[in-house]
């Protein structure tokens, strides 16, 4: 053991000194901030506003699990990645492998896969043979593609860019490839945000060292995500992005800029929502007004729902917010909207779209799951959420899945389906016979502790 009791004792004293500084937190701070979110404006632009009305809700998990699944057929999409690999030749490469999982299980759907390899080298001599179309395999159920980022398009961020190209292209292309195979009355879950936010950022950033604005594959990715939303808006089928680890800061940053009279202790939006949605921290006030809670169910009929959910004090409930519309501004002033249309507009690149630009604007609501002590974010396009019935059904479906399993079961299945394991990543390294992995000391020191 590196740290002996005497060391741990001193660390505990330092931690206690910090911990005691937070004892005087006002539990009403989160509720007071929440009132501002009914319509939050900065410089005259609406950054955030409540869809319908502002509220906090609570559901009893055993009662949700005892109910009917609003969408018994559910699909989820996930991409597994080798993570960016570097080699002694100067090559940066990432392989992403995308698949769909279904509940109930559909082996025909799950067999279909899309693989994208994104590669970059700063050498002008290297001419990687990118594929113009798709190469099929596995009796036409699999598709593969190699895309190359040109040497003059990057002077930094090479690992981030090969990962973004591979992941977003694999995900969007596989979803478009599979969309007509989905059951009509189904529910679709994307792993993570519904839009390629990282790529959108670099597409509009005026940076001489990351010049992917004119890259045809980058533009294709933006168009793909618009085409995906068009499909779901046309068919009125629900699609959500389930964000497991939300790291957004825009709400807290905007509230801070308003210079309201209270202190703002949180940097991340998720930190704020964790306090807002935890009854122990925020206080469960009356059922009326912004400080109160709306409960979808309040009777108690035992610890076991008909779907097999088990209840304990920490798993007895889930709390959540109303839906919000985010019509303007990502990444400060660089994007004047929250959909790929904004990125395309910033570059004077008209993207095809079938609906009003407002329908592509980002909507979301937040959930707190006490059994896991985590906050999740659920995203969807405004074109779906503006429909009262569809918004209610989407909310109910998410709450049902979380009440039953603590996490969307179909998304867990998709993660297992798409994951590229460590042993497979090591095997892929061996396919490159003319180069060796660019290994660091930390790889040799900690590599054996990596996941399998």
Look up residue 221 and give its two tokens.
Answer: 């990715």
What is the average pLDDT across 137-159? 96
Average pLDDT, the chain: 88
Q: What is the predicted pLDDT for the residue at 22?
A: 77
φ and ψ at 335, to 5 degrees? Answer: -130, 125
Stretch 164-169: mean pLDDT, rounded?
98
Per-residue pLDDT tens for 332-368? 555 667 888 877 665 656 789 999 999 999 999 999 9
User: What's the CA gap between 427 and 450, in Å, rounded?
Assistant: 15
CA atoms of 298 and 36, how far apart (whole Å): 28
Task: Return the minimum-mean-pLDDT range out of 329-343, 358-372, 409-423, 433-447.
Answer: 329-343
My answer on whether omega of the bond before 240 falls inside 30° of 0, hence cis, is no
Phi, psi of 376 (to 5 degrees): -115, 155
β-pairing, 56-60 vs 85-86, is unpaired
Strands (E), 248-332: 293-295, 317-321, 324-326
- Between 113-117, 240-244, 264-268, 364-368, the lowest mean confidence (pLDDT) is in 264-268
> What pLDDT, in 10s, does the model give residues 15-72?
999 888 876 555 568 888 899 999 998 888 888 999 999 999 999 999 999 999 999 9
Alpha carbons 233 and 434: distance in angstroms, whole number: 48
What whole-number distance in Å separates Cα of residue 128 and Cα of residue 130? Answer: 6
Alpha-carbon distance of 206 to 201, in angstroms, equals: 10
Q: Cβ neighbours of residue 80 under 8 Å, at least 6 residues apart?
A: 96, 97, 98, 418, 419, 420
123, pLDDT greater than 70: yes
């Amino acid at each position: 053991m590196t740290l002996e009791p005497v060391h741990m004792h001193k660390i505990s004293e330092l931690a206690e000194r910090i911990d005691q500084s937070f004892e005087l937190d006002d539990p009403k701070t989160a509720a007071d901030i929440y009132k501002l979110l009914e319509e939050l404006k900065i410089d005259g632009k609406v950054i955030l506003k409540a869809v319908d009305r502002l509220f906090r809700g609570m559901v009893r998990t055993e009662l949700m699990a005892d109910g009917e699944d609003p969408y018994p057929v559910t699909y989820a999409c996930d991409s597994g990645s080798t993570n960016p690999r570097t080699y002694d030749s100067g090559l940066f490469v990432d392989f992403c492998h995308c698949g769909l999982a279904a509940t109930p299980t559909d082996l025909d759907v799950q067999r279909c896969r899309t693989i994208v390899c994104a590669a970059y080298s700063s050498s002008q001599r290297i001419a990687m043979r990118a594929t113009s179309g798709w190469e099929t395999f596995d009796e036409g159920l699999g598709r593969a593609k190699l895309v190359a980022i040109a040497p003059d398009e990057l002077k930094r961020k090479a690992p981030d860019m090969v990962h973004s190209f591979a992941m977003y292209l694999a995900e969007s292309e596989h979803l478009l490839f599979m969309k007509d195979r989905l059951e009509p009355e189904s529910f679709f879950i994307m792993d993570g945000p519904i839009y390629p936010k990282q790529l959108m950022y670099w597409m509009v950033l005026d940076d001489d060292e990351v010049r992917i604005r004119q890259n045809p594959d980058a533009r294709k990715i933006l168009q793909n995500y618009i085409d995906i939303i068009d499909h779901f808006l046309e068919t009125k089928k629900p699609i959500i992005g389930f964000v497991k680890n939300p790291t957004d800061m825009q709400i807290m940053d905007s509230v801070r800029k308003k210079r309201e009279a209270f202190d703002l202790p949180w940097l991340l939006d998720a930190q704020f929502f964790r306090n807002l949605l935890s009854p122990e921290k925020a206080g469960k006030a009356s059922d009326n007004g912004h400080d109160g809670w709306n409960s979808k169910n309040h009777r108690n009929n035992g610890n076991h729902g008909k779907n097999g959910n088990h209840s304990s004090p920490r798993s007895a409930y889930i709390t959540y917010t109303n839906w919000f519309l985010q019509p303007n501004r990502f990444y400060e002033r660089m994007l004047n909207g929250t959909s790929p249309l904004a990125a395309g507009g910033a570059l004077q690149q008209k993207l095809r779209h079938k609906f009003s630009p407002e329908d592509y604007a980002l909507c979301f609501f937040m959930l707190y799951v006490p059994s896991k002590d985590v906050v999740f974010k659920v995203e969807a396009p405004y074109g779906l959420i503006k429909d009262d019935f569809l918004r209610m059904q989407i909310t109910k479906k998410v709450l049902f899945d979380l009440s039953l399993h603590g996490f969307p079961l179909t998304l867990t299945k998709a993660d297992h389906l798409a994951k590229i394991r460590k042993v497979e990543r090591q095997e892929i390294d061996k396919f490159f016979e003319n180069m060796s992995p660019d290994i660091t000391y930390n790889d040799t020191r900690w590599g054996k502790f990596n996941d399998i």
